[in-house]
Amino acid sequence: MRTLHFYLLRQVMAALLMTVLVFTFILLLGNVLKEILALLVNRQASLGIVCQAILLLIPFVWIFALPMGMLTATLLVFGRFSADQELTAVRANGISLIALITPVLLLSVLLSGICGVFNTEVSQKCRAAYKKLIRNLGEQNPSSFITEGRFINDFKGYLLYVGKVNGPQLEDILISQLENDKVTHRIRASSGFVEMDTNNLRMTLFLTNYWGFICKTNETGWTPFMDNKECSLSFDIPATSRSVKPMNYSDMTLKQLWAEKEALEQLEYAPFSSTRLSPETLREQLALVQRFKKDTLMPILVQISRQVAFSFACIGFTLIGIPLGIKAHRRETSVGIGIAIVLVLLYYGFIVLAKSFDTRPEFAPHLIVWLPNFLFQAIGAVLLWRVNRGI
């Protein structure tokens, strides 16, 4: 029996490792293509910074990759186990399915504990560190706000084009100054460099060997000018980059969310000066506070429930993956992956639904996130019972 358990557990762990690596790569690829790769191509970040950013993203994607990997691994292993008639041989020796899969169920419990740590603590801290790294990259490298070979209209009143970016050094610069969406000045420079004033949130562009034209409002056409001396232009840092946005609930750890929840709940006991308020007005004020508290509290409750409930996904996926793999009775990897994708989409559909209702307390979205766990575990338990009895 111990040899059989070791054999089955080894098969599941090998498939789990393979599928987790594949899902991690796929999920990382989306983030890399969206943010990190552009920084590397534009030489706004070194290879070391890119590797650091990818490492910080891995714990974040693992909260999705681990449950998906466990589901796919059970579907593949038990589908092959059934197709090769190994399950029939096991039953012929008087071993029940429940006794056979006990190590796999214990593995799913262990993975749920690991997911719980990642969901409630590690992934949020790594995600916050990743965002801080990207933000600090812009502050340390002023040219990170400038994309090479593209027209940039993020700076109010100016349209900027830079042919080549090499750190703070710029080449082939074209600047158009706008007033009421009309060009009033056009400046061309062969080279220049940028400096960042982080205290005043301004970026200064120094131009060398510049020339250009001025459009005078009282005359027709453009007046050329040329000056070989240096000149400088100052720009406000784009609003999307210069301010540190408040931390999203999705970036908070469970401890931070709970502290935020308790702080909002204190609104119920906020004192009111009732000396100049009529009883009716006082009741209206209290009702407004209660409504505000409920509407504001619900997104926090949804996030808390999501972090905790999502930690049990490995158990639900394992319970439903084992009997489905046996029922499928197929060795093909494509079949197992196809079933896994359908189940994952169904599971995450409830999470997305709850997230869309986080401003609608009447729908109790903090309870909706628990539904897929209950459904998958209940259906999985029933299917396991039926398969174990040979139904």
Q: What is the pLDDT of residue 231?
A: 72
Structure tokens that stand for 268 in this block: 């119920």
Residues 258, 90: Cα–Cα separation, whole Å: 48
Q: Residue 267 pLDDT more than 70? A: no
Q: Residue 317 pLDDT more than 90? A: yes
Q: At what angle do helices 371-388 and 313-328 cross, to 10 degrees?
A: 40
Range 89-93 average pLDDT: 80
Residue-wise pLDDT for 107-153, tens only, equals 999 999 999 999 988 988 888 888 888 777 655 555 556 767 676 77
Q: Can you give the pTM of this predicted structure?
A: 0.68
Range 353-377 average pLDDT: 85
Residues 299, 296: Cα–Cα separation, whole Å: 6
Label residue 281 by pLDDT band (50, 70, 90). low
> Is the separation of the CB atoms in 387 and 327 below 8 Å?
yes
Q: What is the pLDDT of residue 274?
A: 47
Of 362, 251, 263, 257, the C-alpha closest to 300 is 257
List the domain boundaries for the chain: 2-140+297-388, 146-237
Range 180-201 average pLDDT: 74
Residue-wise pLDDT for 9-65, tens only, equals 899 999 999 999 999 998 888 777 666 666 666 566 677 777 888 888 899 889 899
Q: Residue 97 pLDDT more than 70? A: yes
Label residue 198 by pLDDT band (50, 70, 90). low
Q: What is the pLDDT of residue 206?
A: 82
